Amino acid sequence: MESLNSILNQFKFDGELVSCKEFGSGHINKTYIAKYQNNGAEQRYVVQRVNGAVFKNIDELMENVFAVTSYLRQIIRENGGDPDRETLHYIRTKDGSKYYTCSDGSFYRAYIFVRNSISYDSADTPELFGRSGVAFGRFQKMLSGFDSDKLYVTIPNFHNTIWRYENEFSPALKLDVKNRADSCREEIDFINARKEEMGRIEEFVQSGAIPLRVTHNDTKLNNVMFDKDTNECVCVIDLDTVMPGVALFDFADAIRFGASTAAEDEADLSKVSLDLDYFKSYTEGFLGECGDTLNECEKANLPFAAKLITLELGMRFLTDYLNGDIYFKTDYPEHNLVRARNQLALARDMENKLDEMNRIIGAI
């Protein structure tokens, strides 16, 4: 097995290595911070071991990442910004590759550490959440001129809700391998009652009413870096799931995760609801940046998309529960059922608040 120093030596880093320490708590990729000294100045690099079990096609993933970040750097330069701070700057290996393959078959890639920045796992105020909306809205706006057809679809049918219903949920319910269906009839009925609307966004895409765009597909708060001094958003990180998609779902998943009043495995459903103040703040930030690049059909369906993606995740949790908990990591036997009930309760609350959500968007 190659030493970490040997791996670092494969990349075009400037200066002499001072230290390298494990960093962060990511569950998928192992991450290190490597400090280098170059002519008296410190330069830090993020070095990641990419989980090949999760990301099956490293070539397509890294092609997407390099294509998007190269384009973003160009746009940022044209706008007079700092491309080393406002997007990720990936470093090639000394032989020009986008990543390094170890002798054991593992993959490593590297980028410049975003200086003087911090990330948050949760937003204590609507204002902070709104700033993440600014970040993802700006990301969408800057990439509005990028042809998404140039990117690989690394996860087919990722947010194709009706496809997941027909090809994952329905077979799991029919097989019921763990005899769990009787314990979740109410949840099954809730999902089945909404089958007809599951294909609505996909139908808009097929008809051309909603275009495919470059999408991030993991729009959690902790994928935004903020300035340590001003707390303003600096850039969007974790681009491993960047691919062609529907911009509505980037917005929707941020709302699902960040505007809920409870964590997604909260068992007390009385605590689960959509916080409209958080929704309003995020929507203002997001549309304030990219509203003029989205068409009217996209903007009109933002609230529905938030509900749909929440329903979709609830359905995915219930699917995994019916299958015997083979996909999502669980901490106890009914964990996936609790998660499913939580997300379906949030989807129901979103249904009840659709008119208010639409009014908020109409006023922006």
pLDDT tens per residue across span 119-160: 999 999 999 999 999 999 999 999 999 999 999 999 999 999
Mean predicted lDDT score pLDDT of the chain: 96
pLDDT beyond 80 at 1: no
- The sign of the torsion formed by the CA atoms of 177, 183, 187, 190 equals positive
CA 23 to chain centre: 20
| Model pLDDT for residues 209-246, shown as the tens digit of each residue | 999 999 999 999 999 999 999 999 999 999 999 999 99
Q: How would residue 24 be classed by pLDDT, with cut points 50, 70 and 90? A: confident
Domains in the chain, start-ordered, CATH in brackets?
4-115 (3.30.200.20), 126-362 (3.90.1200.10)
| Distance from C-alpha of 79 to C-alpha of 308, rounded to nearest angstrom | 36
Q: Report the chain's terminal Cα–Cα distance, integer Å.
A: 56
pLDDT beyond 90 at 25: no
103 contacts: CB under 8 Å, gap ≥ 6: 1, 2
Nearest Cα to Cα of residue 301 among 177, 161, 189: 161
> According to the model, what pLDDT value does residue 29 have?
76
Q: How would residue 271 be classed by pLDDT, with cut points 50, 70 and 90? A: very high
> According to the model, what pLDDT value does residue 270 have?
99
- 54 φ/ψ angles, rounded to the nearest 5 degrees: -90, -45
| Model pLDDT for residues 223-232, shown as the tens digit of each residue | 999 999 999 9
| pLDDT mean over 277-287 | 99
| Distance from C-alpha of 208 to C-alpha of 140, rounded to nearest angstrom | 19
- 236 φ/ψ angles, rounded to the nearest 5 degrees: -100, 135
Q: How many CB atoms lie within 10 A of CB 122?
A: 12
| pLDDT mean over 285-306 | 98
Q: What is the dihedral of CA 246, 247, 249, 251, to 10 degrees?
A: 180
Q: How would residue 76 be classed by pLDDT, with cut points 50, 70 and 90? A: very high
| pLDDT mean over 21-36 | 82
pLDDT beyond 70 at 358: yes
pLDDT beyond 70 at 26: no
pLDDT beyond 80 at 54: no
Residue corresponding to tokens 């681009």: 239
> According to the model, what pLDDT value does residue 223 have?
96
> According to the model, what pLDDT value does residue 27 have?
56
pLDDT beyond 70 at 289: yes
